[in-house]
Amino acid sequence: MLGDGTDAFVLLCLGKEYQSSIIPVPISYSAPETVIWREIRQAWIARRGWRRYVSFLGVNRVDLVEISIAGMNLRKPRGSGGAAEFVGMYTKKDLQNEKKRLERIIDNYRQQDDPCQYNLSTGSVDCWETCMSSIIDVECPEKVKYDAERQLENLETHRLMTLAFSDPELASLNDFLQGENVVYGHKDTLALMNEWHCPKLREMKFRGVLVEENWKFESHYILLPLAMSLLFGTVIVAKFTFGEWGTAWNSVDSIDSDNGGRSLDEGL
């Protein structure tokens, strides 16, 4: 999956859930998130082909998904940049169930007599000697609560990832990919092979970025093509009626002039 001169990749996923195209996007392992999003976007543009010129076909959503690879795409064995292209499937995270799980953790929190404090400068909880985690084999209740609150906050702003795809500079202040394990190097790929005895390719679970496309049925995308279709339809009818293109165009022009004049007279 790694191309020449690259030490890591991110998987870009396109298409249907069970018939998806999976494209390794070569990056540097230490690349900042803005660069990663920029490379993902460039790979998506290169993959679109003629569809990039269709203005009413756009991005509906960008999300992180779990990916299972079936094998190489024999129709397109090489994608953009010379990297291999694969086929497989993806699975979305159930955000509603995840939200409920985090809310249950927060609701079930019971404060200790001497609660541990959240350290704003380090982003972690400083546990006292009297913390339950120091006495018995349990995780600090305050740490569990604060982690759940932070994850819930990130979950509720999850859809902003689509904006980072459209404008990679937005990622610099948001870190959408931080801790999501979507950047793979040689060691990360080999580690997946150690989860099972002689794992099959489809048993190796990757994580990647899904870009969903959809038709945008907005008025300015519909009215112009509709008006053009009506115009050319009228010209074709006039051609069969009068027998030549020049007369057909003149007749359509005269109809348009009459309509314009009538509208003007009605306005006066």
- Residue-level pLDDT at 204: 92
Q: What is the dihedral of CA 228, 229, 232, 233, to 10 degrees?
A: -150
Strand-strand pairing, 86-92 and 117-119: unpaired
Q: Which residue has the tokens 């099959």?
A: 200
Q: What is the DSSP letter of 20?
A: E
Model pTM? 0.71
198 class by beta-carbon count within 10 Å (0-12 exposed, 13-18 middle, 19+ buried): exposed
Asked whether the CA dihedral 9, 74, 77, 14 is positive or negative, the reply is negative
- Residue-level pLDDT at 69: 94
Contact between 88 and 118 (Cβ < 8 Å):
no
Tell me the two tokens of residue 222. Answer: 């519909």
Domain chopping of the chain, boundaries? 8-93+158-216, 99-151, 220-267
The string over 36-62, giving b where at least 16 C-beta atoms fall within 10 Å of a residue's C-beta and e elsewhere, is bbbbbbebbeebeeeeeeeeeeeeeeb
Digitized pLDDT (tens) for each residue of the chain, 268 residues in all: 655 557 899 999 999 999 999 999 999 888 899 999 999 999 998 887 666 555 556 788 899 999 999 998 887 756 544 567 899 999 998 889 999 999 999 999 998 888 999 998 888 899 988 888 888 888 999 999 999 999 999 888 888 999 999 999 998 888 888 878 899 988 888 888 888 888 899 999 999 999 998 766 555 555 666 667 776 667 676 666 766 656 655 655 665 555 544 433 444 3
Asked whether the CA dihedral 220, 222, 226, 229 is positive or negative, the reply is positive
Asked whether the CA dihedral 185, 189, 194, 196 is positive or negative, the reply is positive
SS3 206: strand
Report the distance separating Cα 234 and Cα 251, nearest Å. Answer: 10
Radius of gyration from C-alpha coordinates of the chain:
28
Nearest in space to 164 (alpha carbons), one of 177, 183, 152: 177
Report the distance separating Cα 217 and Cα 205, nearest Å. Answer: 36
- Residue-level pLDDT at 265: 41
Contact between 13 and 209 (Cβ < 8 Å):
yes
Tell me the two tokens of residue 6. Answer: 């690259």
Interior CA angle at 53 toward 47 and 56, to 5°? 105
